[in-house]
Amino acid sequence: MQTTLDDYEVIETIGTGSYGTCKKIRRRRDGLILVWKEMDYGMMTETEKQMLVSEVNLLRELKSPYIVRYYDRIIDRTNTTIFIIMEYCKGGDLATLINKCKKEGSYLDENFIWKILIQVTLALKECHERKNGKAVLHRDLKPANVFLDTDKNVKLGDFGLARVLHHETSFANTFVGTPFYMSPELVNNMSYNEKSDVWSMGCMLYELCALRPPFVASNQAELNRKIRLGEFARIPLHFSDDLNTIQKKMLQVDVSKRPSITELLAEPLVASRLPKVE
Ligand SMILES: CN(C)CCCNS(=O)(=O)c1cccc(Nc2nc(OCC3CCCCC3)c3[nH]cnc3n2)c1
């Protein structure tokens, strides 16, 4: 049934993303804690609004324990705002966790990093499997978009929203952060594909270990050059050769040599760590 804003009570603002504000809310009827993301569609063209509607409809279909659960959407026409209601992830995002480790001068636990790798890969598998012919590519995989629940299980968030925002006219597109995770094919203006998400995941895995991205530069041209070259130092020696091996496979500049999600899940180092299907 269609819910209204009155069915929820705002607890606090969690933060502001590239598309709008994220608030922690409580569903009045049962006290369930959720979040909503407010997006002002007032400035969007008809095409962008259509894209937003289709992205939200795709979000509804993504059902995986490793993807932030979509609950509902409320459209407030008077303020041209759409509220997308989703599962609240108590553990926060990985960007916050990485910054905490940097400050403390400590590394993340290797087993925790493997767990993140496995769960993000399973989340992407769910998305890449064609949903009635449409694969949902994340396009904006980064630590700030990976959340943790109470048991420190991964919850991939903000799916699809990235695509709406990468549309030329959208305001957000002009002020997004440095694209450290941009794949070589994107740098070379080729099309984004499923293996581009694997590249971004390789960059994220590197950053979880080294507490900095594999390619760093002070400007876009320099960053593009480094990404095209694809050279980076080994992850810290603190981490195993196994983790280093799998991480290097994901950062293959040549797309044909880079594993797909399915090939990644078949890698012995990964397959041996997959949750047993109950
Ligand atoms: C901007 N950073 C400093 C983060 C500040 C805020 N800390 S934090 O690490 O995200 C944090 C702290 C505690 C709980 C949660 N839970 C949470 N957050 C979401 O989005 C956060 C939002 C994403 C866009 C940018 C602003 C923040 C969710 N989306 C769907 N479920 C969500 N659950 C997040």
Q: How confident is the model at residue 70 (pLDDT cuts 50, 70, 90)?
A: very high
- The C-alpha atoms of residue 176 and residue 227 are separated, in whole angstroms, by 19
The secondary structure of 142-160 as a DSSP string is SGGGEEE-TT--EEE--TT
What's residue 130's pLDDT? 59
User: For atom 3 of ligand 1, which residue has the closest CA?
Assistant: 96
Q: Among 12, 21, 22, say which to mutate for ligand 1: greatest number of ligand atoms within 8 Å of CB.
A: 22
What's residue 222's pLDDT? 96
Q: Among 102, 147, 159, 176, say which to mutate for ligand 1: greatest number of ligand atoms within 8 Å of CB.
A: 147
ipTM above 0.85, yes or no: yes
User: For atom 25 of ligand 1, which residue has the closest CA?
Assistant: 17
Pocket of ligand 1 (CB under 6 A): 14-17, 22, 35, 68, 86-89, 92-93, 96, 147, 157
What's residue 140's pLDDT? 79
Q: Across residues 90-116, what is the average pLDDT?
A: 97
Query: Which of 59-73, 129-143, 203-217 ranks highest by mean pLDDT?
Result: 203-217
Q: Which atom from ligand 1 is nearest to the alpha carbon of 37?
A: 29
What's residue 277's pLDDT? 75
Q: How confident is the model at residue 66 (pLDDT cuts 50, 70, 90)?
A: very high
Q: Across residues 13-30, what is the average pLDDT?
A: 93
Q: Which residue has the tokens 């909503």?
A: 36
What's residue 142's pLDDT? 93
Q: How far is the CA of 89 from the centre of ligand 1 (A)?
A: 8
- By annotation, the residues acting in catalysis are 140
Q: How confident is the model at residue 62 (pLDDT cuts 50, 70, 90)?
A: confident
- Residue pair 1/142 in contact by the 8 Å Cβ criterion: no
277 or 185, higher pLDDT: 185
Q: How far is the CA of 20 from the centre of ligand 1 (A)?
A: 12
Check whether 117 has a pLDDT greater than 70.
yes
Q: Which atom from ligand 1 is nearest to the alpha carbon of 145?
A: 23
Q: How far is the CA of 241 from the centre of ligand 1 (A)?
A: 33
Q: Which residue has the tokens 């960007």?
A: 95
What's residue 29's pLDDT? 97
Backbone phi, then psi, for 119, in 5-degree steps? -75, -35
Q: What is the pLDDT of residues 136-173, one digit of tens each?
A: 666 679 999 999 999 999 999 977 665 665 555 555 45
Check whether 198 has a pLDDT greater than 90.
yes
Check whether 239 has a pLDDT greater than 70.
yes
Q: Which atom from ligand 1 is nearest to the alpha carbon of 21?
A: 26
Q: How confident is the model at residue 193 (pLDDT cuts 50, 70, 90)?
A: confident
Q: Which tokens is 227 given?
A: 């990404």
- The C-alpha atoms of residue 267 and residue 239 are separated, in whole angstroms, by 19
What's residue 108's pLDDT? 98
